Amino acid sequence: MKMQNSVAIIGLGYIGLPVACLCAIYGYKVYGADIDKNKIDLIKKGTCPIKDDYLEDQFKKVKGKLNVTDNLKEAIKDADIVIICVPTPVDKNYTPDLTALRSATASVSEAMKENTLIIIESTIFPGTTEEIVLPILEESNVKNFYLAHCPERIDPGNKNFTLERIPRVIGGINKDSSIKAYKFYEKIINAAIIELSSVKAAEATKIMENTFRDINIAFINEMAKSFDKAGIDIMEVIKGANTKPFAFKAHYPGVGVGGHCIPIDPYYLISKAKQIGFDHDFLILARKINESMPVYTVELLENKLKKLDESIEGAKIGVLGLTYKADVDDVRESPALKVIDILKEKKAELFIFDPYVKEKSNVKDLNELLEKSDYIILVTDHKEFKNMDLDKLKENKIKIIIDGRNCLDKEKIKGLKIDYHGIGR
Ligand SMILES: NC(=O)c1ccc[n+]([C@@H]2O[C@H](COP(=O)([O-])OP(=O)(O)OC[C@H]3O[C@@H](n4cnc5c(N)ncnc54)[C@H](O)[C@@H]3O)[C@@H](O)[C@H]2O)c1
């Protein structure tokens, strides 16, 4: 069997670009394609289009080795392996939107050569590979190809579990496809690779992992709201429960769940299950609870202002963070955007700062935000916010701080005579 040594990555985003870098590091000839011409230009110029320490390091290592283009077919035609990493969002009715996946697959179908191995890394509902991707590929003039799903599990910003250190699951449409995919990942992944018996099982694995997280966060958010009424600090309770060496897994409450995965993936299953005759009550409830958190967080501030006989209208509020999680530059589905919308609707005067998204901030730095604000809502636990000098809050006469990530020193802030409220503490 000929050694497969060229890989085309379709979609060079938070998952496609790190995968492309890893393949180049392990000696594959790498073609990359994306419909975003700006992104392609940046990569060609040697600029990493995503702010992420790990990815920027990897990107430096492969300088000049990524052959990128906005012409998908150009990238696909000579590749032995094609990996599809395009977005799989939901539309405004929370229904899976597979436009990008269908269109990328159509390009593969038109341009691939004989014996190409196609791998879908995008997150998809059970059945997508066989019911949607395969029929498009079967329209190709190519007679023989291999198709597998290997859901991507990368956690951008996580320095302990970088791409190559996360175990993978694989499902192929047939045994040959699984074996080929397995052999490929074995070369680039330094962790367990588990072959499942079907594509559907691999698709369902990823959806279940992310749904598990959404449900557990919803549970802890509900506990936080309940314990808040009872005057119990949820963080202390989690610390206590976490001493049980089995059966408890700590999750933390917060201002909301964001990103391209956790708030989206449950809808992929909810929608598919409905189609085949099953209604997911639990998953829908979890989504509802997590989506209520930005409103809840703003209400915490609003209630405090009411007690002071003050209104949120015209209040000078500093919003710390725009991204959905710490130390990344991704604002997709970020609860910060919802918090800002709610505050704008209530006519607050807003000062917004995110060190990773300066172009969407309206003050130049944290100091300016503190100088201009009377109240703070912390949305993202970036290191710059977690490690800030809390005395500056006092110096700048901050009156109330709502800690949407429970990441600040509550006792120290209270000691400074600043009104502190976290989520459930
Ligand atoms: N971001 C994560 O943390 C993460 C983790 C695991 C899995 N995933 C899954 O990986 C997939 C991709 O997510 P992402 O975060 O990398 O998205 P992204 O938006 O960062 O990247 C996708 C890229 O694909 C490009 N693209 C869109 N349509 C295209 C098309 N038709 N042809 C070629 N390129 C196209 C976009 O321009 C973009 O650059 C999704 O299914 C997501 O659920 C994401």
Q: 154 CB under 6 A from ligand 1? A: yes
In our burial notation (b when 16+ CB lie closer than 10 A, e otherwise), range 238-260 reads beeeeeeeeeeeebbbbbbbbbb
Strands 419-422 and 145-149: unpaired
Residue 3: its pLDDT value, please? 55
pLDDT in tens, 72-107: 999 999 999 999 999 999 999 999 999 999 999 999
Q: Is 200 among the catalytic positions? A: no
For 37-64, what is the mean pLDDT? 96
pLDDT tens digit sequence for 226-273: 999 999 999 999 999 999 999 999 999 999 999 999 999 999 999 999
- 167: pLDDT confidence band, cut at 50, 70 and 90? very high
Q: Please report, as a single letter, which amino acid is at residue 324.
A: Y
Q: Whose CA is nearest to atom 11 of ligand 1?
A: 122
Residue in 55, 62, 52 with CA at minimum distance from that of residue 30: 62
Ligand 1 center to 86 CA (angstroms): 4
Does ligand 1 lie within 6 Å of residue 11's CB atom? Answer: yes
**What is the mean pLDDT of the segment spanning 379-407?**
97
pLDDT of 145 reads 98
**Confidence class for position 360, pLDDT limits 50, 70, 90:** very high
Write down the domain spans for the chain: 6-197, 208-289
Answer whether 88 contacts ligand 1 (Cβ < 6 A).
yes
pLDDT at 4: 61
Mutate-to-test residue for ligand 1 from 22, 210, 260, highest number of ligand atoms within 8 A of CB: 260
What number is the average pLDDT over the span 29-57?
96
Catalytic entry in 21, 150, 261, 407: 261
| 261 counts as catalytic | yes
pLDDT in tens, 103-121: 999 999 999 999 999 999 9
Ligand 1 atom 39: residue of nearest CA:
13
Backbone angles phi, psi at 58, to 5 degrees: -60, -45
Q: Could you tell me the distance, in angstroms and rounded to a whole number, from the CA of residue 84 to the centre of ligand 1?
A: 9
pLDDT on residue 206 = 98
pTM of this structure? 0.95
CA 402 to centroid of ligand 1, rounded, Å = 33
Q: Is the pLDDT of residue 14 over 90?
A: yes
Report whether pLDDT(410) > 90.
Answer: yes
Catalytic residue among 180, 206, 272, 338: 206
Q: Is the pLDDT of residue 1 over 90?
A: no
Q: What is the mean pLDDT of the chain?
A: 97
Does residue 377 carry a pLDDT above 80?
A: yes
Number of C-beta neighbours around residue 236 at 10 A = 12
Alpha carbon distance 132, 128 (integer Å): 5
State how far the alpha carbon of 237 is from the alpha carbons of 22, 251, 317, 408, in Å.
41, 11, 30, 17
Between the CA of 394 and the centroid of ligand 1 the distance, in Å, is 43
Domain range 6-197, CATH class = alpha beta
Q: What is the arithmetic mean of pLDDT over 118-133? A: 98
Q: What is the CATH number of domain 208-289?
A: 1.10.1040.10
- Given the CA of residue 88, which atom of ligand 1 is nearest to it? 41
